[in-house]
Structure 1
Amino acid sequence: MFKRLFFILRLATTWGMAVMLVVALYSSLPLIGDFSAPILLFAFGTLGLVIAGAFSHLHRVRMIAGRIDNETLDNRQKRLIEIPLEAGEAFDLVDAAIRELPGVDAVRSARDSLQVKAKVARPHLYGEPPLRRWNPLLWFAPSHNLLQATVTPAGDSGRVTLICEPESPAWSDWFLVDDGINFENAEAIARAITRRIGERRRSEQASVAQTATEKELTEAKLHLLHAQVEPHFLYNTLASAQLLTRSDPARAEAMLGHLIQYLRRSLPSAEDEMSSVGAELERALAYLEILKIRMGDRLAVQVAVPEALRATPLPAMMLQTLVENAIKHGLEPRTGGGTIWIRAHRDDGLVAVTVADDGEGFNSKTSGTGIGLKNVRERLRLRYAGAANLSVIANFPSGVAATLTVPASGVTPNV
C-alpha cells in the first residue's frame, strides 16, 4: 500500500508543479489572466486525469507481475540472463526470440559485436482512448519502445544483458507511465529464451536416446549375424576334425585346440562390447589356424602387430569381421589361395590396424552383400562419434586392404 501511495503522490506532485508553472504563466498574461475559471478547470482536470492514469497503471502492473514494487513500476526494465550455450549460439537464440516479439520493428543485429537493437510498437491496450488528446499521460508518450540485448561471452556460456525502455529521455519517467509494457516485453523475451533452451535440450536428449537406440539395434544385429554365422563355422570345423581323426589325428587334435582357443576368446564378447587389439588378434589367429589346417598350403598368415599396441581398446569382433571377409571374398574363391597380412601401427593419437590379402580383390562375383563392413562402420560411428573410421582400398598388386583407425586411448564420447 505504501508503494502505491508513494507512486501516486510522486506522479501527482510532478504534474502539480508543472501545472502550477502553467498557472503562473497564464496569470501573468494581460487581460486573459484575469479569468481564473479556465485555468483552474485545466489544473484540476489535469491532476484528476493524472491520478486516474496512475491508478490504471498500478492495476495493470499488478495483473501482469502479480506484485507492486520498484522493479515492476519502473518504465525501464533490465534483465541479466545466463544461457548455457557458446556466445555465438546464445546470440542466435536471443536474436530469434526478439524477432518473434509482437509489434517488433526495425531489428538491427550485429553478430560480430553480439548485439541486437530493435523498436517495439507501443500497443493501444484499451483501443484508441477517446480522450487521448486530453490525457496528460499520453501527451508526450512515445509511439515505440526500445529494446537492446547484448551477449557477453563467459567461457562455455553467454550472459545476456536485456534492456527494455521507452523511446523517450529518462526525465520523462517523472511524468509518464508505460502501463507495464516494458516489463511485459522483458518477461516475454526471457520466456522465449527459456522455451528455446528447453526445446534445444529436449532435442539433444531425443538425439541421445535415438543414438543409444541405434547403438543397441546395431549390436543386436551384430549378435544376430554372429548367431547365424558361428554355427556354419563350427559345423565345418567339427566336420573337418571328424574326418581328420581317421586320417591325421594329430592335425585333428590341433584343429580342436585352436577351436577351443577361438571359442574361449569369442564367448565373453556377448557380455562386453569392448575388447583389445591383443585379444582380437588372438581370436583371429585361432580362426586362421583352423583355416590353415583346412586349406593347407593355400593359406599363409603374416602378423606385424607391436606388443605396445596390443592393449589398445578395440570393439569386439571387428578385426574378426575383416579377417573373415578377406578369407571368404578374397582367398577362398581363388584356386591358389594366398596370404593374409595383419599389421598395426600408431600415428600420433591414433592406432591403425590393417587386414590385407592378395586374393580376388574387388570382384562383383565375390564382393558379397557388404553387411559385415556396414556393421563395422555403424559401430565405429556410434562408439567413437567420428573419431574412428574404416577404409577399404585395393591392395597392390591384387587383393584388398581394410584398415581400422581408432583412438589410441580408447576414450569414447558420452552418448
Structure 2
Amino acid sequence: MIASLWFCLRILVAWVLALIVLGVLWSNLFGGPGAVFVLLVVGLLVLAAINTASHLRRVKLVAGRLDHDSLSSRQQRRIELPLDAGQAFALVESVVAGLPRVMDIESSPGSLQVRARIARADSYNTRPPSRWNPLAWLAVKRDRVSATVTPGEGTSSVALLFEPDAGAWVDLLLADEGSNRENADAMSRALGQRVAEQRRDERESAARTEAEKELSVARLNLLHAQVEPHFLYNTLANAQVLTRTDPERAERMLGHLIQYLRSSLPGIDQSLSTLGQELERVQAYLEILRIRMGERLAVQVDVPEALRDVALPSMALQTLVENAIKHGLEPKSGGGTIWLLAREADGQVHITVADDGRGFGGSSSGTGIGLKNLRERLRLTCGPEAAFALVSNFPSGAAATLTLPHKGALPPELPHAS
C-alpha cells in the first residue's frame, strides 16, 4: 500500500511541476491561463490518473503484488545457467528472438551481449495505442531488452535489463502498465524451461546409454549361455571317449578344460577384460581343439608381454577365434593355422586373429550376429576410438582386427550383470 501511494504521489508531483512549467509558457505566449488551458490541465491530469490506475491494476495482475520493484518500469534480472558461456549465449539469443513483437535484434558473440527492441502493445487487446489517445502522443512505443552473459566455472551468469525505449523522464510522467515486468517474467520462464528441457534430454540420453550398456551385458551373458554348454558338452564327450582309447590325451584335455574354466568363471559377469586374461582363456580353448582336431589345427601366438594389460570387451577374442575355427578351418579338409597377433602403434593397440581357412569364398551357416554384437559392445565399452575390421587374408582365409586405445583411454567399465 505504501509503495502504491508513493508511486501515485510521485506521478502526481511530476505532472503538477510539468503543468506549472506549461502554464508559464502558456502565459508568455497567450497571456493568462484561460478556460482552454484549464480544460487541458484537467484532461491531462485525468488521463495521467487513468494511466497510473491502469499500471497499478496491470502490475497487480502480472506480479501478484505491489511493491517498489514490481511497480518500476525498469526491471532487472540475474539468472545463473549451468552452461558454459558459449552455450548460455546461444540460449539467451534464441530466447530473446522468441519474445513476442521483438525487433531490431543486435547480437555480439564476442562481447556476449544481446540487445533488442520490443514493440509495446495495449495490455488488453494486443493492439498499438490508439492515435486518438492524447497520452499516445507522448507514450513510448517500444521497450528495450539487454542481456549480458558473464562466464564462470562451469556456469554462466546472465544479467537482463528491461526498460522503456526512452529517457529517464518517462518514468516520472508515464507508467508502462507492467509491460517490462511482463517481458522480464516471460524471458525468465523461457530460460528456465529451456534449461529444464536440456537437462531432461541429457537424462534421457544417459538413460538410453545405460539401457544400451545393460543390453550389452545381457547379450554377453546370452553369448556365454550359448557357447559354454555346447563347448563343455563336446569337450566332456571327447574326454569320455579318450579315457578308453587314449587316457593320456584325455588327461591333457581335462587339464586344459580346467584351465579354461579357471580363466573364464571369475570374469563371467563382467563386460571388460584384459588381453592377458582373454589370451589365457583362448589358448586353453585352442589346446582343447588341437587335441580334438589333431594336426589339422596349428596355433601361432605373438603377443608382447607389455600389451597384456590392454582392456577389451570380455569374450571378444574368444568370439573371433571361434569364428575363425567354425567358418574358416573346420570346413577346410586339411585344416590350417590360426594366428593371434598384437602390435602397438601411435597410442593404439591392434589385435588380429587370422586364419588360412576357406575365407569369404566358402559357404557359411553363420548369421553374423556374433560379430554384430561384438561391434556394438566394442563401441559401448571402448568408445569411438575403437574399431573392428574383417578382411581377406593372403593367400587364403580371413583376418579380424580389433583397434583399441592403449591404457587409461577407456571409459568406466560397464555395470556387472546381476
**Partner SS, residue 75 of structure 1:** coil
How far apart are residue 3 of structure 1 and its match?
2.1
- Letter paired with 1:51: A
Matched residue, 1:267: 265
- Letter paired with 1:409: G
Pairs within 5 Å for 1:368-387 = 368-387=366-385
Select 1:350's aligned residue among 348, 351, 356.
348
Q: How far apart, in 2, do the equivalents of 1:112 and 1:398 lie?
A: 60
Q: How far apart, in 2, do the equivalents of 1:130 and 1:278 lie?
A: 80
Q: Which moved more, 1:198-207 or 1:229-238?
A: 229-238
Residue 398 and residue 307 in structure 1: after superposition, are their counterparts in 2 closer, same or farther (change >3 A)?
Answer: same
Residue 21 and residue 410 in structure 1: after superposition, are their counterparts in 2 closer, same or farther (change >3 A)?
Answer: closer
**Partner SS, residue 28 of structure 1:** helix
**Partner SS, residue 360 of structure 2:** coil
Q: Which moved more, 1:56-65 or 1:192-201?
A: 56-65
Q: Which moved more, 1:258-267 or 1:380-389?
A: 380-389
Residue 201 and residue 413 in structure 1: after superposition, are their counterparts in 2 closer, same or farther (change >3 A)?
Answer: farther
Matched residue, 2:65: 67
Matched residue, 2:11: 11
Q: How far apart, in 2, do the equivalents of 1:35 and 1:196 lie?
A: 59
**Partner SS, residue 260 of structure 1:** helix
Q: Which moved more, 1:138-147 or 1:207-216?
A: 138-147
Unaligned runs of 5+ in 1: none
Q: How far apart, in 2, do the equivalents of 1:10 and 1:215 lie?
A: 66
The answer to whether the 8 A contact 1:313-1:410 is kept is no
Once the two structures are superposed, residues 196-250 of structure 1 have per-residue CA deviations (whole angstroms, 9 ceiling, x without a partner) of: 1111111111111122112222322232233123222222212221222222111
How far apart are residue 260 of structure 1 and its match?
1.4
Q: How far apart, in 2, do the equivalents of 1:168 and 1:271 lie?
A: 70
TM-score under structure 1 length normalisation? 0.90
Residue 82 and residue 349 in structure 1: after superposition, are their counterparts in 2 closer, same or farther (change >3 A)?
Answer: farther
**Partner SS, residue 390 of structure 1:** strand
Matched residue, 2:410: 411
Matched residue, 1:308: 306
How far apart are residue 65 of structure 1 and its match?
1.7
Q: How far apart, in 2, do the equivalents of 1:93 and 1:359 lie?
A: 58
Matched residue, 2:392: 394
- Letter paired with 2:177: D
Matched residue, 2:79: 81
- Letter paired with 1:255: M
- Letter paired with 1:268: P
Matched residue, 1:154: 152
How far apart are residue 288 of structure 1 and its match?
0.4
How far apart are residue 51 of structure 1 and its match?
3.0
Select 1:174's aligned residue among 154, 172, 175.
172
Residue 332 and residue 134 in structure 1: after superposition, are their counterparts in 2 closer, same or farther (change >3 A)?
Answer: closer
Select 2:90's aligned residue among 92, 104, 112.
92
Unaligned runs of 5+ in 2: none
TM-score under structure 2 length normalisation? 0.90
The answer to whether structure 1 residue 25 and structure 2 residue 25 are counterparts is yes
Once the two structures are superposed, residues 137-184 of structure 1 have per-residue CA deviations (whole angstroms, 9 ceiling, x without a partner) of: x43222222223333443544433323222222332222211111121
**Partner SS, residue 126 of structure 1:** coil
Matched residue, 1:227: 225
Pairs within 5 Å for 1:224-303 = 224-303=222-301
Once the two structures are superposed, residues 302-344 of structure 1 have per-residue CA deviations (whole angstroms, 9 ceiling, x without a partner) of: 2222222222333211111111111111211122222222122
Pairs within 5 Å for 1:89-238 = 89-111=87-109, 114-127=112-125, 133-136=132-135, 138-238=136-236
Residue 146 and residue 35 in structure 1: after superposition, are their counterparts in 2 closer, same or farther (change >3 A)?
Answer: closer
Q: How far apart, in 1, do the equivalents of 2:389 and 2:231 lie?
A: 26
Q: How far apart, in 2, do the equivalents of 1:85 and 1:58 lie?
A: 37
Q: How far apart, in 1, do the equivalents of 2:309 and 2:214 lie?
A: 25
Q: How far apart, in 1, do the equivalents of 2:91 and 2:413 lie?
A: 25
The answer to whether the 8 A contact 2:274-2:308 is kept is yes
The answer to whether the 8 A contact 1:121-1:143 is kept is yes
Q: What root-mean-square deviation, in Å, do the aligned CA atoms of Structure 1 and Structure 2 show? A: 2.5
Q: How many residues align?
A: 412
Matched residue, 1:365: 363
**Partner SS, residue 31 of structure 2:** helix
- Letter paired with 1:19: L
The answer to whether the 8 A contact 1:330-1:366 is kept is no
Q: How far apart, in 1, do the equivalents of 2:179 and 2:157 lie?
A: 24
Residue 67 and residue 348 in structure 1: after superposition, are their counterparts in 2 closer, same or farther (change >3 A)?
Answer: farther
- Letter paired with 1:320: Q
**Partner SS, residue 359 of structure 2:** coil
The answer to whether the 8 A contact 1:312-1:409 is kept is no
Once the two structures are superposed, residues 359-402 of structure 1 have per-residue CA deviations (whole angstroms, 9 ceiling, x without a partner) of: 22223513722111111111122223323222222223332222
Residue 129 and residue 244 in structure 1: after superposition, are their counterparts in 2 closer, same or farther (change >3 A)?
Answer: closer
Q: How far apart, in 1, do the equivalents of 2:332 and 2:296 lie?
A: 9
- Letter paired with 1:160: V
Q: Which moved more, 1:48-57 or 1:255-264?
A: 48-57
Q: Which moved more, 1:15-24 or 1:240-249?
A: 240-249
Q: Which moved more, 1:368-377 or 1:65-74?
A: 65-74
**Partner SS, residue 117 of structure 2:** strand
- Letter paired with 1:382: L
- Letter paired with 1:271: D
Once the two structures are superposed, residues 339-366 of structure 1 have per-residue CA deviations (whole angstroms, 9 ceiling, x without a partner) of: 2221223335433322222222223513
Q: How far apart, in 2, do the equivalents of 1:2 and 1:203 lie?
A: 46
Q: How far apart, in 2, do the equivalents of 1:359 and 1:129 lie?
A: 83
Q: How far apart, in 2, do the equivalents of 1:283 and 1:320 lie?
A: 8
Q: Which moved more, 1:287-296 or 1:34-43?
A: 34-43
The answer to whether the 8 A contact 1:343-1:355 is kept is yes
